[in-house]
Structure 1
Amino acid sequence: MRLIAILLLLVLPQTGLAQGAASLIADQVRLTTDQQLIASGNIEVLYDGTRLTATQITYDRASDRLSIVGPIVIQLADGTVVLADSGALDPTLENGILRGARIVLDQQLQLAANQVDRIDGRYSQLYRTVASSCQVCADQAPLWSIRAQRVVHDSVEQQLYFENATLFIRNAPVFWLPMMRLPDPSLERATGFLIPRQRNNTQLGFGIKVPYFITLGDHRDLTLTPYVSAETRTLELIYRQAFRNGNLRIQGAASDDTLEDDNRSYVFAQGAFELSGGYQLDFDIEAVSDTAYLQDYGYSSKDRLDSAISVTRATPDSLQQVHLTYYQTLRDDESNASLPPLVADAQYETRQPARWGGTLTYGASIDSAYRYSSTDGDAGRDVTRVGGFGSWEESRILSGGFVAQTKLSLRADYYAVQDDSSYAAGAVQVVPSSQVTLRWPLAAYSDSGAAHLLTPVVSLAWADAYGDTPPNEDSTRSELDRGNLFDLSRFTGEDAVETGGQMAVGLTYTRIGSAGLDTTLAFGRILRSEAQEDFTSASGLDGLQSDWLVAGQIAGNNGFLFDARALFDDRDGLTVADARIAWQNTRVSLAAHYIWQSADAAENLTSTVSEWTVDAGVVLSDRWRVELDGRYDIAADSPVSAGIVLGWQNECVKIDVSASRSYTSSTTVDPSTTFGLSGSLTGFSAGRSAAGRATSCRN
């Protein structure tokens, strides 16, 4: 028969009154004549969140000590598990000695010692200790272990302090440290070294990166990463801070290398903040010392940097936005003076129900493009546009299931032009437009439960431009796709206008499968009364008739996606084709993209573009994984970039081996190959957990 004793007066005569009582469960409890309480058989003690199990406990009232016979298992309130053969503790289980002990932290890291001293419930002092997060088998040493003369675990600060420590791989010593501090695995954030990374680059040579993470409170941190090789001395940094109303991230690096005579550096900064009144502040700052620095060090593949700041307020019926962007080109054939490098715009737009029905939308905007150069013409032209617009739109359902949409619009703009004698210094343009779109959605359901929707669409539109013709700054790149087939204008900005009458026709078919597989297919084209000279042939929008647009998508609830689009010209055939496929499950992640585009001198495409990219990851087993990425220029029959990462991990080790090759070549950038190696011992890193499958022991 099991007995339950509340040790309020006997076991905890003083501390129990102040802090609460301990509960003892045992098969047998007896009190001796010399005031010793002996409990034996399936013992369980619960006190202040701590649970202890043992074979026998003897409490001596005179010394106020517990003598415990194991096997002993102590489960502390913070999740730490302590195992021991025998021990002597005070009734609070916070002070005493455990012999033949083993401590398990966060179910990851094991520390085995001849003796463990418990002090004030906070410190555990271990002597002649072996620490490892590997599976420990009786017939062989763990894959790695740290053997130390003394280890102190501070459960409040969640830190481990090692004295006279040696790292062993199996039974072979690797290196020795007189003192070492590491976080225990339950700590989420801690100042200290992160995983070192080895980098071997054909331009920078063999080097190593050693990140050092610094906590600056609960909401800020700084990571400093020295990068040292035979060719460079570099310091990288990442600063992060979370505010009550937003966040900030700054990353950058500074280098002194043999590739350039001057010091090199870059900085990227991003921030987003919620302001009062519903406004949102966003900024993105990008700067680099020279055109090749980002490519040489693998920081970014961008060939144009854009620093921007914007303030936006969006509500269900209005939009207010101010945006400023500074561009820095890294291309050999461009200069900052003629990009233009500085672009600013502001806009206001609102909509409301009209008294006579439908929706009324109106607004105003201003934008400006500024170039440093004062050269007459495109290279030095500065343009500022101020304009306003108004539109009325209404949708109605007609008999037979037809849906009719009517839209009337009017916009007026004033352009101030400098440093370009081919345009008037002041230009005014007024553009009226109208559009009627008719849709006829037809729905059907199959016996399998799939839904089918067939929608033919016809759109008639007209627009014209009155006044002066302004320079085209914001509509130089346009392309026909499924999203703008039935738009009133396919230009991306306000400077260019589609004039004359036009008719857009199209057909969309959608199937929504009962098993989660959805399919969409659409095609259409545009017929015009006037050819549009501002459209290029590669856009698919030039001439009296646009190219035929064919687009489709297949999406499944199992992570599969296929999306494709093509433009066909009646005379020249295929103009543009692009497709992408993606598939992801627990073991496979695949993303691939292909693009083909015909040559077009108007868009600086001197030759046909034909290129594919792939990014894939496969979990080969519980321990092995491989990641691949590549980009290949089929038209030039030449690779652009390639990379592979091979990873292995078990319950206590993670190792990544990588190789990448950049084939980019210019007057400032040379092709380069980079090899990398990184590894970590799981169980120590703050906020990390062992994800690999545990090693099994053979009998």
Structure 2
Amino acid sequence: MRARRLFLFAGIAGSALIGALTAHGSSALAASSDVGSWGQAWGDDGAALPAPAPSRPRAVVPTVSPVPAAGATMTPMPKGPAAAEIGGWGDAWGTDAVPAAVPERPRAVVPTASPVVTAPTTPMPSMPSGPSPAEIGGWGDAWGSDAPATVPSRAVATAPAPIPTAAKPASAAPSLLDAVMGAPSADSTEDQDQPVQLTADQITHDRELGIVTARGRVEVTQVNRTLIADQISYNLKQDIISASGNVILAEPNGETLHANYFELTGDLKEGVANQIRAVLADRSSLGATTGRRVAGDRTDFEDGVYTACEPCRGKPDREPLWQVKAKRITHNQAEQNIEYRDLWMEMAGVPVFYAPYLSHPDPSVKRKSGFLPPTMGQSSNIGTNVTVPYFWAIKDNQDITFAPRFLFPSSSTKKADEFGDSDNVLRHLVLAGEHRWRGRQGEERTVASLTADKYSGDLRGHVDSRARFELDHSWRAGYLLERSSDDTYTTIYSYRMQNERPWLTTRPYVEGFGRRNYTMAEAFAYQGLRDQDDQGESPIVLPHITTSRMTVPDSKGGYYTFDADMLAYGRSEGTNSTRLSNRVGWQRPYMGSFGDITTLNASLRGDAYHSDQVTNVGSANAGRAIPQISANWRMPFARPSATMPQVIEPMAMVAASPNGGNPAKIPNEDSIGFELDETNIFRANRLPGLDRVESGVRGAYGLRWHAYPGSSSWITAAIAQGWRARKDSVFAEDSGMNGTLSDYVARLDVSPSPNLALLNRMRLDRKSGDIRRNENTLSVGSPVLRTDISYIMMDRNDQPDLSFVRRHSATWSVSSALSRYWSMRGGVSYDLTDNGGPTDWNLRVTYDDECFAFVSDLQRTYTYDRDYLAGYAVTFNVVFKTLGSVPFNVF
């Protein structure tokens, strides 16, 4: 039998029951006379006869135990010779001296004649032997003493816990709500050793019936758990505990129980309660006309009502937004599940859904296997569809979500007119799922799907997986896996990759970190998603190994660096190559006498290549050595101010290396797509990657300004221009760096308040001043109403190493928290080039309160991409909070 005892009984019975309720099977005190029985405690005419042996049974309890009225004179108890007086509940009422006055309780005024005594929690000492019975303080002392006693009108007592019940061992005191709801408190074992305080207007004991009763504003408190009732009683013979009249139980975890009456067996395995209303820890509530505890691990509620909605402020009687009414609600403690039978779901008091059965986890469950709310949608590409996810909690740190999507025949889609529908089951089902794992050694997430195309019958699918594993304190490994059966699958079926780019990447890697070093080995494979991409030309990189080392700075701040890079790649159509690159460098900062900072760099780099099928060359071996020196200088000027501190900083860079260094025998793979901007103009080698190097004498100069008009506001502006001693053919015509002077690059970042932010990045033609690149982002407003505008213009005509197209587009979005529960967000994208127009627009409306959420998405696209058609897409998602899969876990 589980060691559980209701804490309220500990307060009712008190420590005086230690002797009486454990009479059977308990050992007597060693070398002591017979201890006074219940009759002696209440003042019998005669005392029990002295016992020749400790094992003698106690005296017979009289059949009548009158309760004296207030002020009644009690028959004094006979006193034996000097015997040890053991403190107990009786000491609270009967002593040889006049009891001390008690301060007033905030809840009720207590008469000054009512003393408060805390019973000792230490074990009782052994009593000395003697011919006369020892006087033991107990319940009787409250009424019987040598002098007349006045019965107080309100009893206040504190007793140690646990208190044993009749003929049963002491056990833990569980929460009453746990007893009724069937979920044991996690703190019950710990709390059983805490004292219990009982307050009541009257406490009586019927010895004939064996019932102890507390009446009138009864309040029992243990730790942070409080029980309030008009009356609480305990039947010693039947081992039944009952409470009646405005029963309220407040639990430490925030749960609250209201009931008119409850009755439980002492072992808490069977019980009944009437007119129950429970507010659970997650603020959901459950009510019922009758509750019955069955078999110790199940509670049945008849005519039950469950909702997670809180009562409306000012109108608590209004029907909640939703509630579930069931003929029977069963809380299965063993399975941590709440089940409903013969139920109706009501919205604002109107029945909208019937089911013979449904279930969901109880509030103690943080994650549990089961169905999740479905998502319904309509798309011009796949028609009407419904996704019904199932969540499988494999372990605490691992789970799988199966998300099959059911596709329904529809004549409204354009593709249906062309291909028609098929009876093949796989053409009407998309198998999809997500696996997640997180442990002390790493984490992993995988999303995958598979289907037979609804119209062509071809198998289509995708996988998006990534993981990271901590090998030790210095090394870790991981991978990125992104693959799709074809270029348009993820777009048609609305599977968004974590990296939204026009290509997919597969990358396993291992890397190590040191205090001043870093090493990485990786491999790459790519899948292009654009119409012009040729998979045969996509390279497979195996391997790419890089390492970097840095020495400890010397006394003047100088240090050496060493970098090595090894790369090998191949493809079925095009160039295959192997590259080895090593670089040794030295760097030292200098602080000038005027506060200027100069950083000197010197390096020597050597590269070796072996390539096949190089354009216009064929197979070739090539090598190069590149010495380089550079200096970066800046001098900040600060202007302190109480209103707007400012910093203005002129900057300059100069670098030199031999001219050339880019022979045709060296293929260009990782230096493609150069775009001059403020982030790379002050680099000694402004080109990305290693295959191409910037040579000759070159440099840059510019100015940067910072201002801080407020504690949470700033303004930053920068402008710069690069220069070269001679032209370099490595730069494309429209790159902005193809002459001796580069285009101007500028940046403006303004944020005068949290509700306004502007970012502008641009490149201006060095001759005409025309804007060659312009990127703008503007955010205005608060969460109540916020607008975001982005604009990009890139004027590029040609790039030898990369297909660039002219871009000119704008995106506008607005979001608003319309009210406490309603919010909206919408946006539109527009192509501003010739013959352009809107590309797409979207709208999302959300309702989200404490118990219910509704999300609706509407999207319109105007672009076509092979078998991807322009059109509409609509999705709906309805969530009844705390119920999880309630509307769909139905059979």
Question: TM-score of the superposition, structure 1-length normalised?
Answer: 0.91
Q: Is the 8 A contact 2:522 2:545 kept in 1?
A: yes
The aligned residue for residue 361 of structure 1 is 561
- 1:578 aligns to 2:772 (yes or no): no
SS at match of 1:401: coil
- 1:684 aligns to 2:836 (yes or no): no
Cα distance in 1 between the residues matched to 2:676 and 2:796: 16
Q: Is the 8 A contact 1:482 1:551 kept in 2?
A: yes
Q: Is the 8 A contact 2:166 2:239 kept in 1?
A: no
- 1:151 aligns to 2:329 (yes or no): yes
Cα shift readout 1:425-454 (whole Å, capped 9, x = no counterpart): 100111111112222111110132x43211
What is the identity, as a one-letter code, of the residue corresponding to 1:683? T
Q: CA deviation at 1:58?
A: 2.5
The aligned residue for residue 490 of structure 2 is 294
- 1:345 aligns to 2:518 (yes or no): no
User: Alignment partner for residue 501 of structure 1, among 689, 692, 697?
Assistant: 697
SS at match of 2:492: helix
The aligned residue for residue 217 of structure 2 is 42
User: Alignment partner for residue 604 of structure 2, among 404, 410, 425?
Assistant: 410
Q: Is the 8 A contact 1:158 1:184 kept in 2?
A: yes
Q: CA deviation at 1:179?
A: 2.6
The aligned residue for residue 637 of structure 2 is 442
- 1:59 aligns to 2:234 (yes or no): yes
Cα shift readout 1:342-387 (whole Å, capped 9, x = no counterpart): 46421111111476951111121111332111xxxxxx11122111
What is the identity, as a one-letter code, of the residue corresponding to 1:361? T
Q: CA deviation at 1:235?
A: 1.6
* CA pair 325-556 structure 1, distance change in 2 beyond 3 A: farther
Cα distance in 2 between the residues matched to 1:638 and 1:623: 35
SS at match of 1:498: coil
Q: CA deviation at 1:666?
A: 2.5
Q: CA deviation at 1:13?
A: 4.4
What is the identity, as a one-letter code, of the residue corresponding to 1:26? T
What is the identity, as a one-letter code, of the residue corresponding to 2:568? S
SS at match of 1:413: strand
Question: Which has the larger strand fraction?
Answer: 1
Q: Is the 8 A contact 1:233 1:257 kept in 2?
A: no
Bigger shift: residues 332-341 or 664-673: 664-673
- 1:663 aligns to 2:862 (yes or no): yes
Cα distance in 2 between the residues matched to 1:556 and 1:53: 57
Cα distance in 2 between the residues matched to 1:443 and 1:103: 65
SS at match of 1:295: helix
Cα distance in 1 between the residues matched to 2:258 and 2:400: 38
SS at match of 1:453: strand
What is the identity, as a one-letter code, of the residue corresponding to 1:17? A
Q: CA deviation at 1:269?
A: 0.6
Of structures 1 and 2, the larger Rg is shown by 2
Q: CA deviation at 1:278?
A: 0.7
The aligned residue for residue 385 of structure 1 is 579
Q: Is the 8 A contact 1:428 1:467 kept in 2?
A: no
Cα distance in 1 between the residues matched to 2:785 and 2:367: 31
The aligned residue for residue 376 of structure 1 is none
* CA pair 303-436 structure 1, distance change in 2 beyond 3 A: closer
Q: Is the 8 A contact 2:610 2:621 kept in 1?
A: yes
The aligned residue for residue 329 of structure 1 is 528
Q: Is the 8 A contact 2:607 2:623 kept in 1?
A: yes
- 1:547 aligns to 2:760 (yes or no): no
Cα distance in 1 between the residues matched to 2:595 and 2:349: 80
* CA pair 629-155 structure 1, distance change in 2 beyond 3 A: farther
Residue ranges of structure 1 left out of the alignment (5+ in a row): 374-379, 687-699
Cα distance in 2 between the residues matched to 1:138 and 1:516: 43
What is the identity, as a one-letter code, of the residue corresponding to 1:487? R
- 1:29 aligns to 2:202 (yes or no): yes
The aligned residue for residue 281 of structure 1 is 477
What is the identity, as a one-letter code, of the residue corresponding to 2:731? F
- 1:627 aligns to 2:802 (yes or no): no
Cα distance in 2 between the residues matched to 1:43 and 1:513: 64
- 1:311 aligns to 2:484 (yes or no): no
Q: CA deviation at 1:120?
A: 6.9
Bigger shift: residues 112-121 or 66-75: 112-121
* CA pair 354-216 structure 1, distance change in 2 beyond 3 A: closer
Cα shift readout 1:215-248 (whole Å, capped 9, x = no counterpart): 1011111111121122531121001111221001
SS at match of 1:17: coil
SS at match of 2:402: strand
Q: Is the 8 A contact 1:224 1:238 kept in 2?
A: yes
- 1:610 aligns to 2:808 (yes or no): yes
What is the identity, as a one-letter code, of the residue corresponding to 1:638? G
Q: Is the 8 A contact 2:697 2:724 kept in 1?
A: yes
The aligned residue for residue 691 of structure 1 is none
The aligned residue for residue 689 of structure 1 is none
Q: CA deviation at 1:51?
A: 3.1
Cα distance in 1 between the residues matched to 2:697 and 2:385: 64
Cα distance in 2 between the residues matched to 1:346 and 1:668: 40
Cα distance in 1 between the residues matched to 2:688 and 2:358: 60
- 1:432 aligns to 2:613 (yes or no): no
Q: CA deviation at 1:559?
A: 6.7
* CA pair 616-366 structure 1, distance change in 2 beyond 3 A: farther
The aligned residue for residue 570 of structure 2 is 370
* CA pair 414-660 structure 1, distance change in 2 beyond 3 A: same
The aligned residue for residue 212 of structure 1 is 390
What is the identity, as a one-letter code, of the residue corresponding to 1:597? M
Q: CA deviation at 1:280?
A: 2.0
What is the identity, as a one-letter code, of the residue corresponding to 2:864? S
The aligned residue for residue 644 of structure 1 is 843
SS at match of 1:475: coil
Cα distance in 2 between the residues matched to 1:138 and 1:595: 54
The aligned residue for residue 23 of structure 2 is none
Q: CA deviation at 1:560?
A: 5.1
The aligned residue for residue 406 of structure 2 is 228
SS at match of 2:594: helix
Cα distance in 2 between the residues matched to 1:90 and 1:29: 23
The aligned residue for residue 115 of structure 2 is none
Q: Is the 8 A contact 1:98 1:117 kept in 2?
A: yes
Q: CA deviation at 1:97?
A: 1.3
What is the identity, as a one-letter code, of the residue corresponding to 1:218? D
SS at match of 1:189: coil
Q: Is the 8 A contact 2:228 2:247 kept in 1?
A: yes
Bigger shift: residues 214-223 or 338-347: 338-347
User: Alignment partner for residue 459 of structure 1, among 629, 649, 653?
Assistant: 653
What is the identity, as a one-letter code, of the residue corresponding to 1:430? A
Residue ranges of structure 2 left out of the alignment (5+ in a row): 1-109, 111-153, 173-191, 410-427, 886-891
Q: Is the 8 A contact 1:4 1:23 kept in 2?
A: no
Q: Percent identity?
A: 23
Cα distance in 1 between the residues matched to 2:163 and 2:393: 47
The aligned residue for residue 373 of structure 2 is 195
Aligned residues: 679
- 1:103 aligns to 2:278 (yes or no): yes
Q: CA deviation at 1:203?
A: 1.8
* CA pair 155-371 structure 1, distance change in 2 beyond 3 A: same
Q: Is the 8 A contact 2:305 2:325 kept in 1?
A: yes
The aligned residue for residue 118 of structure 1 is 293
